[in-house]
Amino acid sequence: MTTSMSRRTLLVTGGTAAAVLATGALPGLAAAAPVRPGGADVVLAWNRELLAIVRTAGLQPATVHPTRSFALLHAAIHDAVVATAGAGRPALFRVDVPGRAAPEAAAAQAAHDVLATLYPTRADALASLLASQLAGVTPPAARDAGVRAGRLVARVLLGRRANDGSAATPPVPAPGTAPGQYRPTPPAFAPAVFTHWAAVTPFVLGHAGRFRPGPYPALGSARYANALNEVAAAGRDTSATRTADETVQARFWAAPIWNYWNEIAQSVVGGSHSGLLVAARVFARLNLSFADAVIAFYDAKYHYRIWRPVTAIRLAGDDGNPATGAIPDWSSLATTPADPAYPGAHSVISQAGALVLREEFGPRRPLEVGSEVLPGVVRRFPTFQAAADEAGRSRIVAGVHTRLDHEAGRRLGHDVAAFVTAYAGRVR
């Protein structure tokens, strides 16, 4: 629901940073690079900062999904920009800002306050980034007002999400025993992760199961047999049918998929010389879609609890399907994630990312995509959809998903992103 905060409420905010700004000087930052007025620099810098944080071991809480942090960061930036720019529709809520306030300062302060709350051990680095950005914003009075606006937006947003269920202790479900039921997978046989995430309050969707995929096909069906036999052949660690390029694909896309799409968005937004409002909107829509898509796919995963290919192939003799055959020593090319198979996370997130970026930048946009798993390797695509399709299919040749998971994931990602881009900021 769109919420209006009064001008008086905004005016009572304050603090050390605002007091410093009131003097018109930021000590020790004379050489800082200025923020490009009206440009996307602020958004891109904070997105890079969060990517660095989630890639650093030990900084991201193990039971809090990183997409929540990206959604909080970019919703705060976007709604701070909207509040101070006098244009656009807020993603989650509206605040009223009196007089002239610098959107760049509001965005930077909102971003800082969100990340400083989520990652307190990074306080010094975050403060340094904030100060370097504020040093380039003038005049001081507008900068000061922008700081207050950004602080208010961050405080309201964090308050709204304080009890969203993300801090719950994940329950440990009993392993499945019947054919088709999920159970921990080799080599570690680790307990299932994010078992609580379906109960997290979505940012926009309203409820996690709004677009839940339909039931998984019967184990005795031809669809199931075809899908399982495909991954048994192409996804095996010693596969003789997987091509060399498919092996590269499987390894290239193996990192957290939301990181790739935030990198893709950085490249496209930066390359298109987007203004601040456009950049804030793109990243907010992208990451609100990702956050709600993760809640939605965990809802489906733990609703259906479908076994992973490594389990299904090794135990195919028990599935009642004469068209499948057990391979007791079968292993996948990639390590299987510790959660149920259906739907595929890469397919969900990639389809959501492709839809958001396509709506903003058009259907045909050549891309160069890098990988944090294969440094120096670049893959090229003619469209966002082509990149999304390869990312989703890569999990089949990696041996961790079937085509059934991929197809259900594509539909779920599309539906979530379409809903978020249409309804973010409206009364629901």
Tokens 């040093």 sit at which residue?
Answer: 135
DSSP structural state of residue 4: E
Instruction: For the chain, report the end-to-end CA distance as a whole number of angstroms.
Output: 6
Indicate whether 281 and 364 sit together in one domain.
Answer: yes
203-237 residue pLDDT tens: 999 999 999 999 999 999 999 999 999 999 999 99
pLDDT band at 426 (very low <50, low <70, confident <90, very high): low
List the one residue out of 427, 260, 276, 255 whose CA is nearest residue 357.
260
Within 13 Å, how many C-alpha atoms sit on residue 208's CB side? 19
Q: Does any domain span residue 165?
A: no
Dihedral sign computed on CA atoms, order 274, 123, 168, 193: positive
Indicate whether 217 and 358 sit together in one domain.
Answer: yes
Indicate whether 256 and 146 sit together in one domain.
Answer: no
Domain of residue 322 covers 197-423
Indicate whether 215 and 300 sit together in one domain.
Answer: yes
Inform me whether the pLDDT recorded for 20 exceeds 50.
Answer: no
Whichever domain contains 220, its CATH number is 1.10.606.20
b/e per residue 122-148 (b: at least 16 CB within 10 A): beeebeebbbbbbbbbeebebbbbbbb
8 Å CB contact between 190 and 172: no
Q: Does any domain span residue 166?
A: no
Indicate whether 221 and 365 sit together in one domain.
Answer: yes
Q: Does any domain span residue 167?
A: no
Give the separation between CA 415 and CA 207, rounded to whole angstroms: 13
Indicate whether 129 and 223 sit together in one domain.
Answer: no
Q: Does any domain span residue 53?
A: yes
Largest CA distance in the chain: 79
Omega prior to 366 cis, within 30 of 0: no
What's the pLDDT at 37?
55
Indicate whether 216 and 285 sit together in one domain.
Answer: yes
**What are 380's strand-pairing partners?**
368
155-209 residue pLDDT tens: 999 999 999 999 999 999 999 999 999 999 999 999 999 999 999 999 999 999 9
Indicate whether 152 and 208 sit together in one domain.
Answer: no
SS3 state at 95: strand
Give the separation between CA 255 and CA 350, rounded to whole angstroms: 13
